[in-house]
Amino acid sequence: MEFKLVDKLDSEYQVEIIPCFEDYEISRYSDIFNKIKNQGLFEGKIGTKYSLNQNDVNGISTLVFVGIGKKDELTYDSWYKSLVSLFEKMKINLLKNILFYSFECDNLNIKNMLKGIILSFSAANYKFDRYMTTKLGETEVKIDIYTNKSEDLDELLNIRDAINLTRDLVNEPSNILTPEEFGNRCIEQVKGLDVEINVYDENWIKENNLNALYEVGKASVNKPRFIVMKYFGDKQSDKTISFVGKGLTYDSGGYSIKSSDGMVTMKCDMAGAASVLSLIILLAKQNLKINVFGVIPTCENMINGNGFKPGDVIGSLSGKTIEIISTDAEGRLALADGVYYAAKNLNSDLIIDIATLTGACGIALGTKYAAIIDNDESIFNKLNDASKNTVDSIWRLPGDKEYLSTLKSDIADYKNIGGRYGGTITAGLFVGEFTLGKPWAHIDIAYVAWNDFSTKIFPKKGATGAVVELLYNFCKNSQ
């Protein structure tokens, strides 16, 4: 698909899309809009549309009036969702060109208006069909956006590509995207960019005492990897941020085995790692003036005679010991080594980990919000600011240290789960114990990274690409 800004109407289009406020006169085709409005056929209410075929308007195949509600109530969220609904229902594969009329109002500037068009179109038309013998069909339509404003689309298209890369990686079957292959993909994706990368194998992991990661991954024939990416966009500064992404390319639950239904989608347990890779690529493409490290502990949690077991005590890079209560609480173990490496070896000033960590997150917040646990409210405030004018929603949960008492073990420094209650909080706090007290935030994306059903934000099953734009905005605001 191709997007272009135009300030002249020199071409004929198969479809023209005209956004319409419920309470505000439109400048284009106002006579037609007023006619259908007076007839009670269309009023511009949010989420509605009205189409006229080519017999109604001379020389135009189809006019589509899209309702976007009252002008002072319009938000980026409502704009985006209206367009997802529109684009999902259009037979895009049959079209070659579309004209979209832009607008601007106090609640939605031109850049966010354009972003909504590009990202909603991408969400509605995303396909993962690489393993189908009969493909779903390429979307080759050209979309011209009529505006007299000058705006660079490159950043918006790079954001779209980063989100789609995350979706593609998370949708990959786990027999294809092993830890080794994930490392290879990282190398391939950053090639040609100003990014340093090292992919360390299981021997390095063992020799360098990343024992928690090693224990989780040792039962699989597909051995773990530890991936470190470095982007130095501001060589005049020694300040760095580390993003640590959970990279479980498959999670059976280990000896605390998941149900059959619970295992089917567990290829998605590396969504945090995929978002970190996509973020690093996006930062490098945009040449942001910031220093960022991407850390990915990646492995499979499988079962064999060599696998770790409930009741075991394992070590970690930090030297702290952990009693295993559940082998299905494995992501926090991999993250423990990842965040400690970021704090100690990389000496980062701020650490943010991203993980599909707990089922409890869905119980607490449903499928709309990612959960945040942090040790500094100012970090949450910055993340919250970064979420504005995106469809990435976050909610701060309490990081009360009293919850840590549930992680006390009788035979080791910690247990790896804290019991039935407050599971998202205790899991996050467990990870935070390995950050050496550095400023830190944990983002649990367990129920926003993957769709089991269509939503207004992403109308497909599978990987959503959640929080990539939020993380990018956070970095952009931190320059």
Query: DSSP readout, 336-359?
Result: HHHHHIIIIIS--SEEEEEE---T
CB 397 within 8 A of CB 426: no
| Dihedral of alpha carbons 104, 105, 108, 111, sign | positive
> Which among 218, 267, 332, 460 is annotated as catalytic?
332
Provide the H-helix boundaries in 126-193.
Answer: 154-171, 179-190
Contacts for 420 with CB less than 8 Å, ≥ 6 apart: none
Distance CA 105, CA 142 (A): 25
91 belongs to the catalytic site: no
CB 474 within 8 A of CB 386: yes
Strands 313-314, 322-323: pairing is: antiparallel
Distance CA 139, CA 136 (A): 9
For residue 209, how many other CB atoms are within 10 A of its CB? 15
Burial environment of residue 420 by CB neighbours within 10 A (0 to 12, 13 to 18, 19 or more):
exposed
Strands 393-396, 414-415: pairing is: unpaired
**Residue 212 tokens, joined:** 């928690």
**Residue 314 tokens, joined:** 């394992």
> Which among 142, 149, 258, 456 is annotated as catalytic?
258
289 belongs to the catalytic site: no
What angle is formed at CA 182 by the lines to CA 166 and CA 247, rounded to 5 degrees? 70
**Residue 103 tokens, joined:** 């607008």
Task: Please list, residue by residue across 211-220, b when 16 or more beta carbons sit within 10 angstroms of its beta carbon and e when fewer do.
Answer: bbbbbbbbbb
Nearest to 392 by CA among 410, 361, 378, 371: 371
For residue 63, how many other CB atoms are within 10 A of its CB? 23
Catalytic residue numbers read 258, 332
